[in-house]
Structure 1
Amino acid sequence: MNAGQHFTPRDPDFAVRVRAGFDAQPMMAFIGATLSSVEAGRCVIELPFRPELAQQNGFFHGGIVGTLADNAGGFAGYTLMAADAGVLTVEYKLNLMAPAQGERLIAEGQVLRAGRSLVVSRAEVYVLGPAGKIHCATMQQTLMTMHGKGVA
Structure 2
Amino acid sequence: MSSPADAGTALDRVTAQQVLDSQPFSRLVGARLTGFGDGAAVLEVDVRPELTQQNGFLHGGVLSYAADNALTFAAATTLGSAVLTGGFSVQYLRPASGRTLTARAEVVHTGRRQAVVRCDLHTVDEEGTEALCAVAQGAVLAVRPA
TM-score by length of 1: 0.85
For residues 3-152 of structure 1, what are the structure 2 equivalents within 5 Å?
Answer: 6-9=1-4, 10-11=6-7, 13-15=10-12, 16-82=14-80, 85-129=81-125, 132-148=129-145
Deviation at 1:20, TM superposition (A): 3.0
Equivalent-residue separation in structure 1 for 2:52 and 2:112 (angstroms): 38
Count of residues paired in the alignment: 142
Equivalent-residue separation in structure 2 for 1:47 and 1:20 (angstroms): 16
Percent identity of paired positions between Structure 1 and Structure 2 = 32
- In the TM superposition, structure 1's runs of 4+ consecutive aligned residues that sit over 3 Å from their partners are none
The C-alpha deviation readout for 1:32-52, integer Å capped at 9, x for no partner, is 111111112100000111111
The C-alpha deviation readout for 1:7-31, integer Å capped at 9, x for no partner, is 4234275214423322221111111
Greater helix percent: which structure? 2
Runs of at least 5 residues in structure 1 that lack an aligned partner in the other structure: 1-5
TM-score by length of 2: 0.89
